[in-house]
Amino acid sequence: MHGFFVWIMNVLAEWGYTGVVLLMAMESSVFPVPSELVIPPAAYWASQGKMSYLGVIAAGTLGSWLGAACTYWVSRWLGRPLVLRYGKYFLVQPHKVGVAEKWIAHYGTAGIFFARLLPVVRHLISIPAGICRMSFWPFSAMTVIGSAIWCSVLTWFGPRVITPEMFSNAEAMVHAVKSQMHWIVLLVLVVAGLYGLGMWMVRQSHRSATREPA
């Protein structure tokens, strides 16, 4: 873990925006790169004048879309059986894919947006989207919007929670960021719940209307 963390910090320090794009593309695919170890330290360096905040957000959003788009097309081409069969070699667990599939089934295209703001499903949501052959452009639009918001939040937190000492301690960095993120996650869950309730009420209303005698 420590060696992997050092590698991430080196990529960010040496490659700048290109490193942010690469690491966030990995984070949005099947590689275990936490966004909490990419955007906040990049934002900290932006506060030191080495990058710009808008540049970090743009690079993070682009990388997220690239990773999500690649995962979408691979999943669409392979199909569910092969994804589940070989996904374990990339730490893609079947039960997590199942969670993402239920999320898509419940929220549809809007679920892509909500998922980009939540842990567990955010980096896996592209798999069921591809398997279900969701239209690529709405998928892309929701991915870009959700990723931009997520990267903006992490960029805002970065200079406020990251200290120089954390660049040698991955656990401290992740804990510092996540300790400030629970309200954001809670808000997203509340909004997603209200959206789901609204959609359920609309469906119930349509069913009632079709049952009424002419």
**Sign of the Cα pseudo-torsion (96, 120, 141, 206, in order):** positive
Task: Decide if 211 is inside a domain.
Answer: no
Task: Decide if 213 is inside a domain.
Answer: no
Range of the domain at 159: 2-206
pLDDT at residue 175, rounded to an integer: 82
Distance of CA 149 to the CA centre of its chain: 10
Q: What is the pTM for the complete model shown?
A: 0.80
Q: How far apart, in Å, are the Cα atoms of 13 and each of 16, 167, 202, 207?
A: 6, 11, 50, 57
pLDDT at residue 52, rounded to an integer: 95
Task: Decide if 151 is inside a domain.
Answer: yes
pLDDT confidence bin for 91, thresholds 50/70/90: low
For the record, the structure tokens of 54 come out as 């808008």
Q: Answer whether residue 40 shows pLDDT above 70.
A: yes
Q: Structurally, how many domains does the chain consist of?
A: 1
In sequence order, the 6+-apart residues with CB closer than 8 A to the CB of 101 are 128, 131, 132
Task: Decide if 88 is inside a domain.
Answer: yes
CB of 126 within 8 A of CB of 28? yes
The 10s digit of each residue's pLDDT in 145-203 is 889 988 998 998 888 888 888 888 888 887 887 777 766 667 666 766 666 665 556 56
Task: Decide if 214 is inside a domain.
Answer: no
Q: How far apart, in Å, are the Cα atoms of 2 and each of 9, 28, 148, 153?
A: 11, 21, 28, 25
